Structure 1
Amino acid sequence: MTYCVAMRLDTGLVFLSDSRTNAGVDQVGTFRKMAVYENPGDRMMVLMTSGNLSISQSIRQIIGERTAASGKSVWTANSMYEAAQIVGEAIRTVYERDAKSLRDFGIDFNVSLIFGGQIKGERCRLFQLYAAGNFIEAHNENTYFQIGEAKYGKPIIDRVITPATALDEAAKCALISMDSTLRSNISVGLPLDLLVYESDRLAVTRFVTIDEKNRYFQMIRNTWGQQLKSVFENLSDPIWNAVPDVAANALSTAATASQPVRVPPPHSVANTVPNPAPMQTVAQQHGGNVQH
Structure 2
Amino acid sequence: MTYCVGLLLDDGLVLLSDTRTNAGVDNISTYRKMFTFVDPGERAIAIMTAGSLSVTQTTLAKLEEAISDPDAPSIMTAGTMLEVVEMVGRTLSEVSTHVAGQMGAKAASARASMIVAGQRKGGAPRLFLVYPEGNFIEATDDTPYLQIGEHKYGKPILDRVVEPGTTLTDAKKAVLLSMDSTLRSNLSVGLPLDLCVIETDKMMISEMRRIEADDQVFASMSQAWSQALRDGFRGIEI
Instruction: Note the C-alpha offset of 1:103.
Output: 3.0
Asked whether the 8 Å contact 1:37–1:64 carries over to 2, the reply is: no
Q: Secondary structure at the match of 1:50?
A: strand
**CA–CA separation in structure 1 for the residues paired with 2:106 and 2:175:** 37
SS at match of 2:152: coil
Of 14-23 and 201-210, deviating more is 201-210
Q: 1 CA distance for matches of 2:111 and 2:97?
A: 13
Provide the aligned C-alpha RMSD in A: 1.6
Deviation of 1:160 (Å): 0.1
- Which structure 1 segments of 5+ residues have no match? 239-292
Which protein is richer in helix relative to its size? 2
Alignment gaps of 5+ in structure 2: none
**Structure 1 counterpart of 2:14, one-letter code:** V
Q: Counting strand residues as a fraction of each chain, which structure ranks higher?
A: 2
Hey, what does 1:49 align to over in structure 2? 49
Between structure 1 and structure 2, the one with the greater Rg is: 1
Instruction: Show the 5 A alignment for 1:55-134.
Output: 55-66=55-66, 72-105=73-106, 107-134=108-135
| Counterpart check, 1:187 vs 2:154 | no
Instruction: Please give the secondary structure, in 1, of the residue aligned with 2:188.
Output: coil
TM-score (norm 1): 0.78
Contact 2:45–2:116 (8 Å) recurs in 1: yes
Is 2:168 aligned against 1:164? no
Deviation at 1:66, TM superposition (A): 2.2
Determine whether 1:225 maps to 2:222: no
How far off its partner does 1:107 sit? 4.4
Equivalenced residue count is 236
Structure 1 counterpart SS, 2:7: strand
- Residue pair 1:19, 1:192 contacting (<8 A) in 2 also: yes
What's the secondary structure of 1:66's corresponding residue? Answer: helix
Q: What TM-score does the superposition give when structure 2 sets the normalisation length?
A: 0.95
Mapping of 1:1-292 within 5 angstroms? 1-66=1-66, 72-105=73-106, 107-236=108-237, 238=238
Tell me the percent identity: 45
4+ aligned runs moved over 2 Å, structure 1: 103-109
Change in Cα spacing, 1:15 to 1:120, as seen in structure 2 (3 Å) is same
Measured in 2, the distance between the counterparts of 1:115 and 1:233 equals: 41
| Bigger relative contact order, structure 1 or 2 (CA pairs below 8 A, ≥6 apart) | 2
Please give the alpha-carbon distance, in whole angstroms, between the structure 2 residues aligned to 1:105 and 1:224.
Answer: 41
Structure 2 equivalent of residue 279 of structure 1: none
- 2:210 is matched by which residue type in structure 1? T
Whichever residue aligns with residue 15 of structure 1, its letter is L
Which whole-Å deviations, capped at 9, do the CAs of 1:238-275 have from their partners, x for residues lacking one?
3xxxxxxxxxxxxxxxxxxxxxxxxxxxxxxxxxxxxx
